[in-house]
């Protein structure tokens, strides 16, 4: 490689969200929104526990994982105490609001309104016997992994 190597800018991202904790969902949302802000195409594919983020009944109550999360610097037994996850969640939400990161529902609407696309994974939806009406109205579709790859043509795929 020489100094003259010119890298093509990223024009499209397809982000997979596979986790259902608050800390598992936000990075993908921030990256998708950031992509739209930079003028890139962006789509989000929610799979397995990631579906929690787009389920009407669940999305407003996502929690920070305090057990099995070394980044919390909290011994497992302490993290498992009742109320610990709720407390960590409350703290994180407070700090995020300060730097203008919206709650999950508002964030998804924002990404959708900016032109980002939201998809649920067909296999997971079937596994949990879910229906279209269980999801936020902004959802663009329930698609198979094959359709996801088709839509991701030319994109960088990011798995979170």
Partner 1 sequence: MGTINILGKQLAVDADGNLANRSDWNEDVARELAKQEGIPNLTSQHWTIINYMRKVSEKEGSAPSIRRLTKESGVDTKTLYQLFPKGPAKRAAKIAGLPKPVGCI
- CA dist 31 to 35, 40, 82, 127, 157, Å? 6, 11, 32, 28, 12
| Other C-beta atoms lying within 10 Å of the C-beta of residue 14 | 24
Nearer to partner 1, 40 or 130 (CB): 40
Minimum distance from residue 16 beta carbon to partner 1 (Å): 20
d(CA 81, CA 86): 10
CB 138 within 8 A of CB 116: no
Minimum distance from residue 125 beta carbon to partner 1 (Å): 27
Nearer to partner 1, 139 or 143 (CB): 139
Nearer to partner 1, 45 or 107 (CB): 107
**With the C-alpha atoms ordered 42, 45, 50, 52, is the resulting torsion angle positive or negative?**
positive
Minimum distance from residue 12 beta carbon to partner 1 (Å): 13
Strand order through the sheet with 41-46: 141-143, 117-121, 41-46, 12-17, 156-159
> What does the binding site for partner 1 look like in residue numbers (CB under 8 A)?
30, 33-34, 36-39, 99-102, 109-110, 113-115
Minimum distance from residue 111 beta carbon to partner 1 (Å): 9
Nearer to partner 1, 24 or 116 (CB): 116
């Amino acid at each position: 490689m020489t100094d003259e190597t010119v890298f093509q800018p990223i024009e499209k991202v397809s982000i997979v969200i596979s986790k259902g904790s608050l800390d598992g969902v936000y990075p993908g949302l921030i990256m998708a929104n950031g992509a739209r802000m930079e003028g890139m195409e962006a789509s989000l594919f929610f799979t397995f526990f990631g579906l929690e983020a787009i389920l009407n009944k669940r999305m407003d109550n996502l929690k920070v994982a305090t057990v099995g999360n070394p980044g919390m610097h909290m011994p497992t037994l302490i993290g498992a105490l009742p109320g610990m996850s709720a407390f960590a969640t409350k703290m994180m939400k407070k700090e995020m609001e300060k730097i203008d990161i919206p709650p999950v529902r508002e964030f998804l609407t924002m990404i959708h309104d900016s032109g980002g696309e939201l998809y649920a994974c067909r296999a997971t939806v079937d596994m949990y016997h879910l229906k279209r009406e269980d999801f936020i109205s902004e959802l663009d579709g329930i698609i198979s992994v094959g359709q996801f790859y088709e839509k991701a043509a030319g994109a960088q795929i990011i798995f979170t």
